[in-house]
Amino acid sequence: EWLSKEELNSFAIRYGQAEWDAAGAVQRRTSTGNERIFAYAVCPSSSLLNHSCCPNVFKTWEGRTLIMRALNDVFQGEELCHSYVVPALSVSLRREELLENHRFVCDCQRCSDSMYEVDWMELYVCTRADCGGLMCPVSVHWAEDSPEEDFEDDVPVVCNWCAEYAFVAMDTVQQVRQATTA
């Protein structure tokens, strides 16, 4: 029973693109393909967070510390959720992975409403080939190398899988937020 709980509540620690290229490690494969997993961690308090295919938090690692960051404003009483699977996977692959590795079938709005899927994907899924990570809004200091004027109408985002930086138009962010809260 204890091993089952550990399996279901552990977090994979993955190489970012730069670390992966530098490490030259042997690739581990899961049912979703190239995930670059090199270790697992059990983090008791963060394992209390449930899954959502449209999460409001994402996880990153700073050394040996697991950091959970908000994707957008979180209101008092709102449940904190993160994605247990690669966000860019199709509905069928997300459901398959969740059933196989976490023993439940997801029936969230993103899994059941095809229009919601399209809108959500336009904003939050990394466009880098073979990544599929989650593009997460970050503070301006994360993107210091860009000129200040880049931030006027855009939101800086970073992929939590490959660390790719990009900018998303503020009006796109607002449209998706309106669609997801309606």
Q: Compute the average pLDDT of residues 112-126.
A: 66
pTM for this structure? 0.57
Give the start-to-end residue ranges of the domains of the chain.
2-181
Taking CA atoms, 142 is separated from 37, 112, 134, 162, 168, in Å, by: 25, 34, 16, 15, 15
pLDDT per residue over 7-19, tens digit each?
555 556 565 656 5
The confidence score (pLDDT) of residue 76 equals 93
The confidence score (pLDDT) of residue 14 equals 61
Report whether pLDDT(53) > 80.
Answer: yes
| Nearest-angstrom CA–CA distance, 71 and 137 | 6
- Going by the DSSP 8-state scheme, the letter that residue 125 receives in this structure is B
* pLDDT confidence bin for 84, thresholds 50/70/90: confident
Q: Compute the average pLDDT of residues 139-164.
A: 65
